[in-house]
Structure 1
Amino acid sequence: MSTLHVKSKTGDYPVVADGHVLEKLGEHLVALNTPKDTRVTIITDETVGQLPFAKTAIQSIEDAGYRTQCLEVPAGDQSKSLAVASTLYPKLLAFGMRRSDLIVALGGGVIGDLAGFIAATYLRGIAFVQAPTTLLAHDSSIGGKVGVNLPEGKNLVGAFYPPRAVLYDLSALAHLPARQWINGMAEVIKHGIIGNPQLFEQLEAQPLTSCPDAAVLEPILTAAMKVKIDVVEADEREASRRQVLNIGHTLGHAIEQRSHYQLGHGEAVSIGLVLEAKLAVARGLLDEQTARRIEVVLANHGLPTAPPRDDWNEVAALIDVDKKHGSTLWTFALPTAIGDVAIVKDVSKAEVEVVYQRALEEAE
């Protein structure tokens, strides 16, 4: 078992990762000094809710003496919405949830963001615990960003609201379909690019195209999560340094949305990482060999690296809506080396279009 700690202005919290978290979830809540009269609402999706480990987790909480309800929402990005959130608030009220009670987010990034948003806004804020069950969620569960999407764009309504704890059961990852696993690897690789060259080189040498044994997986995920934690602790509310975590996401979010979410989040981020590496080369910030290494390691994990044949103006319009931009110029996190990223705030639409169109031509 590995335990990391995140320092937060609103309260430090542990990140626990091992292969037995969910079967001991109730014990973990007790260890967090959760009073026995606490009502616990588990929010999950209809897919995760039917898996054996979910039933084990719920039983563990009940066995610890907590009054528990489980709320399921449809699986998929469409549930990360104000409409779905609005159906859950009345159920919290009907269960008698008070400000002293607790929400457990059991699932992937969509569930973590949705449940965290509900926790941040119900009764002006109640505690919640992240219990991630996907590889992608090793990233999204840490750092306190919660929120929902609007039709106009991703994560446009939300808050910074750290959890009481992140309780990560690595055995749950063995249940992931192959495509979900590969999507998650995009974020692991991203963390190597941001701040851990050794992690990146390990994934170059030995691609993880399927879930390995816990003994292999735990140190890799611990290294990736440590990169995220170091960045978040330095800049919790994304005033400066935390923007490096957006690498691959400025273009990736727009591409993901334009695909109507037919592309997975990690697939879109992979394309974004490649395009943004090419943009860094065009700007003289990165050498072509390193950009090629980024592209190859993503491809070797089964991730797409070429942009879809889409209307550039439609992609650009979605970038304009992104909350990270406050002027006619765009802000990008661009790699300068494996392990180092620069924040560039004067990127023009025209220079990104050149990179995008050239990538399309190269893919022909």
Structure 2
Amino acid sequence: MYRKFISEKRRSITTPQNLVDKNGRCVFGTFDKEFEKMDLLKAKKPTHAPQAMNRFKLTLWQATEIFFENGILLSAVCDMGVLGKILNVFYDKRTNKTYCFNTNLKSKDTIIAPNLLRNSIIEATTKDGFVKYVNDLGNGRCSLSGSHKNKEGLTLEYDFQLSRISKPSIVSIPFDDNRPLYSQKDFLKAEGKLIFNGEEMITDKNTVAVTDDHRGYYPRHTHYDWITTMGRNEVNGESKYFALNLTHNQSIDPEAYNENLIWFQKDISILPPVKFTKNIESKNFKEGTIWTIKDEHDMVNLQFKLSDIYGMIKHAVIVNIDYYIAFGLLNGYVRDETGNKYILDGMPAMGEDKTLLF
């Protein structure tokens, strides 16, 4: 019954060789495997700026969230056209405290590979540390390593091997006529270790990750909300790997173009568009802050009770960034396309509330 609420455009189609065709038109939809080429600089007039400005309007990043027994790691390399960044955020579940490691660098000093195939590298290095991805996702695996020291003198080191648990989520979402937001998200098993300020944390059978390769032309005024959870849940009476991705952004047709889904072991179930509501604005976070995430068909009915939030705020003449990374616990449920209900009460989650003017 619930399958009828999913647009056929959300079903995977064969991936073309290039995200941008020979005429500079971007392809949109949901795809079954990695792109060989993503020549987004060749997109024809994706923004209102002159074509020569594409280089400065294109945002590229790869980010990964890893859920441990005692904490959650966010690790990212980002090239925003005018600025590069390495970012690591560690949330300690035991204390409900968040620690940030954030260093800017020149855009030209970031390395963003043209695809995620054949051990392609995405990395950046600064005097404070580095983040490095080696991607072989055509074969369902990648590696992630990094180290970072922040202004408070805290240190972070990690080295992981990641292997695919489920099908990838590969989407190209139109934000305007020829303005794409591409994302490939993978649900992965994580093996390795993290050392946070001298404390070593080793992965176990329940340690999982989601990695996101993200490329696109955001509008000058941008806002999105996002949440994920991952770990294990009861599926057909057994404890199995389970993860969730929910986003509300500026897709011009959210029914046909979104990235909402449940990951199971070896399979996925697509979810419809969702809306986020907040009882307290992120900038005013306090105990009792709750995000509610729902759709129109009772497939998603969740409350995200925040335990901590980290804000990255920058207000300048032509650039404003209000970026909040939130951690906490879920209550509620999601349903798959056949109507099976999965209770998520008590599952750890993280989310983002991001507003940009650039």
TM band (smaller chain): under 0.3
More helix as a share of residues: 1
Q: TM-score, normalised by structure 1?
A: 0.27
Q: TM-score, normalised by structure 2?
A: 0.27
